[in-house]
Chain A
Amino acid sequence: MKATIKSNALVLISVLWAAGTAAQEGIFDEYREMMGDDNPAVFVIDEGEEFWFAEAGPKSATLEACDLGLGEGVVEGAYAQLPRYFEDADRVMDLEARLELCMIELQGRTREEIHAKPYSLQGDTGTEMEALSAWIADQSNDLAIAPGQTHEQEQSAYAMGEQLFYYRAGPHDFSCATCHGQADKRIRLQALAHLESHEGAAEAYSSWPAYRISQGVVRSMGWRMRDCFRQQRLPELVMGSDASIALQMYLAVNAAGAPITAPGLKR
């Protein structure tokens, strides 16, 4: 079955390539229909599991002792309650920041190496971070989004995320709210999620990480934040940075209560 999914996916990706940037949403709907419950992300999920149990770094250690918030090595349900405050780091962290810390602490790897290429290019081979995100998020599927909001730092992360959402800057004066501050709007044919609302935030946040059909790779929530800033004509957002985490906290809290449906399948 998997081979069929993969070849279907490849055929469709090349069709979409030819269709170019004006590719209409309809073709993605057809694709989703054709795939049914199948998602090419299943391969990436398997890869993520392999990465989790693989010995890596100078310490030749696995990530099995990594604490994603529910205790060492507990992966099931962990993604749904991120971002959250971690006492050992005295910081609010998203999944990527937490994984980075585990790679440094447990495996002895460097920040430079982890940040060299956290996200793949379009049509590229997926990265370790993308695969781990997919595998970990998949184990929160159907669970309610429940980010931490009890610690003072968790609350201030939400407040900062809200301020960042409205922060206009750059040559085009764009903020997140330019595109995502109203209901029922679209860019060209692309429908835009209204991220101030629970429904809009839930629809968007719950489905990442997602397999991006047009790019042939799995993308994480952190990547999505980075790519929004690229389109805002702003500089590159650093994975696991305070701004990235604050914005994800803003979305997660707005989406709280809705079930995780990751990995999603997107245009």
Chain B
Amino acid sequence: MMRALGVVVFLVSASSAIADSPYEVLMRSMVDKNQATVSRLKQDAMQETCSKPRQEPANAEALTALREQSLAGVKMPADGVFIGDWQRGAEVANNGKGLQYSDDPSEPNGGNCYACHQLDPREVAYGTIGPSLTNYGARGQSEAMLNYTWVKLWNTHAYNACSHMPRFGDQGILDEQQLKDIMAYLLDPESPVNQPIEN
């Protein structure tokens, strides 16, 4: 029935698909939609290094370089203050919106922490891709803890190359104030994250 197929111009010849890269295949398979343009399909060095199928062994040299470059790119808070408002931090942690083509770009981005982490032990709807951060503040607020936590939020690959976690500071997903508020949500002794459930 379909002998006139040669005239159907939209059909990309798939016989060349073998030699194509995933980037090329995605570029001809996707279209801009609102804020999500096809420019997002181009990988940076981290993304390229961390896109290997699981069965392919990681290149130790590349991972070391990624950790070093990630650490070197971290911007510490300009005023030296790490801790913001935990109540605002709770909102950021709960907000899963931001940067999807279905999201309003005039609204602030969320951190969506609960998608992957347990935080406030009273919140039952938490994900399990990342470790539980309940009672994270028990570690205290030493300079080392403040620095470590800030770097982890800014660019997780500084410590854990090819982690699943987004680079919230480095990629501009959250601004400096939002990061400080998340720091407070994690570290402030008053934050519900650090308030155990009383029996």
A67 near B129: Cβ-Cβ < 8 Å: no
Within 8 A of B (CB), among A50-92: 65-67, 72, 88-92
Chain A positions within 8 Å of B31 at CB level: 235-236, 238
Chain A positions within 8 Å of B23 at CB level: 167
Q: Please report the C-alpha to C-alpha distance between residue A242 and residue B22 in the assembled complex, in whole angstroms.
A: 10
A106 near B125: Cβ-Cβ < 8 Å: no
A173 near B46: Cβ-Cβ < 8 Å: yes
A242 near B28: Cβ-Cβ < 8 Å: yes
Chain A positions within 8 Å of B8 at CB level: 101, 104-105
Per-residue interface assignment for chain A, residues 2 to 28, with 1 indicating a CB less than 8 Å from any chain B CB and 0 otherwise: 000000000000000000011010000
Interface secondary structure of B, over-half rule:
loop
Chain B positions within 8 Å of A144 at CB level: none
Nearest neighbor of A111 in chain B, beta-carbon distance: B10
Contact A185-B2, Cβ < 8 Å, known A92-B14, A235-B101: no
A189 near B54: Cβ-Cβ < 8 Å: no
B41 near A235: Cβ-Cβ < 8 Å: yes
B29 near A241: Cβ-Cβ < 8 Å: yes
Contact A90-B40, Cβ < 8 Å, known A65-B1, A72-B1: no
A-B pair count, CB < 8 Å, reads: 178
B38 near A89: Cβ-Cβ < 8 Å: no
Chain B positions within 8 Å of A172 at CB level: 99, 166, 171, 173
Q: Is B122 part of the binding interface, using a Cβ–Cβ cutoff of 8 Å?
A: no
- Contact size class for B? 35 or more
Q: Please report the C-alpha to C-alpha distance between residue A199 and residue B81 in the assembled complex, in whole angstroms.
A: 49
A175 near B28: Cβ-Cβ < 8 Å: no
Chain A positions within 8 Å of B172 at CB level: 171
Q: Please report the C-alpha to C-alpha distance between residue A169 and residue B21 in the assembled complex, in whole angstroms.
A: 14
B52 near A166: Cβ-Cβ < 8 Å: yes
Q: Please report the C-alpha to C-alpha distance between residue A24 and residue B124 in the assembled complex, in whole angstroms.
A: 9
Per-residue interface assignment for chain A, residues 220 to 244, with 1 indicating a CB less than 8 Å from any chain B CB and 0 otherwise: 0000000001110111111001111
A–B complex contacts, Cβ < 8 Å, 11 sampled: A24-B124, A67-B2, A162-B53, A163-B22, A168-B43, A168-B47, A188-B126, A235-B40, A241-B29, A242-B28, A243-B25
Closest 6 CB pairs of A and B: A241-B29, A243-B29, A236-B33, A91-B14, A235-B30, A172-B166
Mark B residues whose CB is within 8 Å of A: 1-5, 8, 10-15, 17-18, 20, 22-23, 25-26, 28-33, 36-38, 40-43, 46-47, 50-54, 96, 99-102, 114-116, 124-129, 164, 166-167, 171-173
- A-B contacts besides A160-B22, A185-B128, A189-B125, 19 pairs, CB < 8 Å: A90-B15, A92-B14, A164-B22, A164-B26, A166-B52, A167-B22, A167-B26, A169-B42, A169-B47, A170-B40, A171-B166, A172-B171, A182-B129, A187-B116, A188-B114, A188-B125, A230-B100, A236-B101, A246-B25
